Amino acid sequence: MSQNIQPPSRRQIIKKLIEEKKKALTVDELVKLTGIPKDKIRQTITTYDTTVVRVGPQTYDTVERIYPGKTFRYTPQEKEIKKRVLSAEEDLHLFLTAARDYWEDITLIDDLNNQYFLKRSKAATKRSFSAYQGLALWYKKVGFKYGDDILFTCLDFSQKKYKIVHLKKKNRDEFVIKIKNKKLADFVYSILSFNMNKYEMDTFLIRKYLFIYPFNDPVPPDSLTKAIWNDKRFLISTRDKMLSWTGHLLTYELSIGLRKYYYLNEKGEYVLVTVLSDEYGRYGFCTLCDQRLIWEKDIGWRHPNDEMEWTDSYLTKEFFDMGKKKVN
């Protein structure tokens, strides 16, 4: 009895073609070389795909091809150093796995060619945190201190192998890192400005910059939360009381939002503001109380005092230009 052989999927065809060409391909090139219609190509390789990823304007490549050489900087917190683990709750685990296969083991190789095998464990209680174990000996061997960095450089993504380097705090090139942090922050701001809700979970946000931002530079930026921690354009759900568009507190995952699209209420909660429009212009609308809001540059959003203010609450160009930076 003959076995039914399924034809390759569009994703498999695209991936195989890129591997054969050994280079990134544009959407137009994919259409020409595969014969697949452009709309079908765009439906197949979205920002949520983890096999074929966007590496530039309408340009795509495979993770296995472009990931080796990428370097990520991470600064462990005191609780991680004390337990001699690495947190698996923010963008570190997303970088090590390229935002896929979150539970795969990771192999780290130091400058003496010693290997350390990271295994991810779940949080045992609500007060604990999900973490990678397997670095206790390395922490002790290098004399790791609070404020020091770890640099992870991908050697072989298919085998999840990374070079690991200990960088003392005193050896951080703060001037260059500050520039890189600003570049990353501006890039993320640009991404979020096109998001309908103006905030995004880190799991999805990282896929929109991880393969485009130049992490191959010898001096990488800090992890995203550290890079934007003092940037007043952003809200961070693990620090700020951010409410989702449905009014729920974002407490169980890391989300990043644009500060200017949030109204700070009397409870200290950041309430999402939706920008709507009518025949006269665009205005802010509170997603929690379903009321119109007024935006002022010095204080942000507030409720109108009377109907006269309500009729004159349209947003100006200044609001939309605020915080915007040109990203190359």
Q: What's the pLDDT tens digit per position in 13-40? A: 999 999 999 999 999 999 999 999 999 9
Distances (CA, A) of 57 to 10, 23, 323: 21, 15, 23
DSSP class of residue 146? Answer: T
Distance in angstroms (rounded) separating the CA atoms of residues 325 and 258: 13
- Give the integer Cα–Cα distance in Å for 116 and 109: 6
Helices (H) and strands (E) in the chain, counts: 12, 18
Q: Are 160 and 97 in contact (CB under 8 A)?
A: yes
182 burial via Cβ count (<10 Å: 0-12, 13-18, 19+): middle
Rounded Cα–Cα distance for residues 259 and 236 (Å): 9
Q: How confident is the model at residue 246 (pLDDT cuts 50, 70, 90)?
A: confident
Q: Is the pLDDT of residue 253 over 50?
A: yes
Q: Which of 104-113, 207-216, 304-313 has the lowest mean pLDDT?
A: 304-313
pLDDT over 80 at 74, yes or no: yes
The pLDDT confidence band at residue 325, using thresholds 50, 70 and 90, is: low
Is the pLDDT reported for residue 1 higher than 60?
A: no
Q: What are phi and psi of 162, to 5 degrees?
A: -135, 145
| Range 249-275 average pLDDT | 91
The pLDDT value given to residue 305: 83
The fold for domain 10-66 equals Arc Repressor Mutant, subunit A (1.10.10)
The architecture of the domain spanning 71-171 is: Beta Barrel (2.40)
> What pLDDT score does 115 carry?
97
φ, ψ for residue 38 (rounded to 5)?
-60, -40
- Each domain of the chain, given as residue ranges in start order, spans 10-66, 71-171, 174-328
pLDDT at 328 over 50: no
CA–CA dist 127, 118 (Å, integer): 22
Strand 262-264, strand 106-109: pairing: unpaired
CA distance 320 to 164: 42
On whether the pTM is more than 0.75, the answer is yes
Residues 80-136 have pLDDT tens digits of: 999 999 988 778 888 999 887 777 889 999 999 999 999 988 765 554 568 899 999
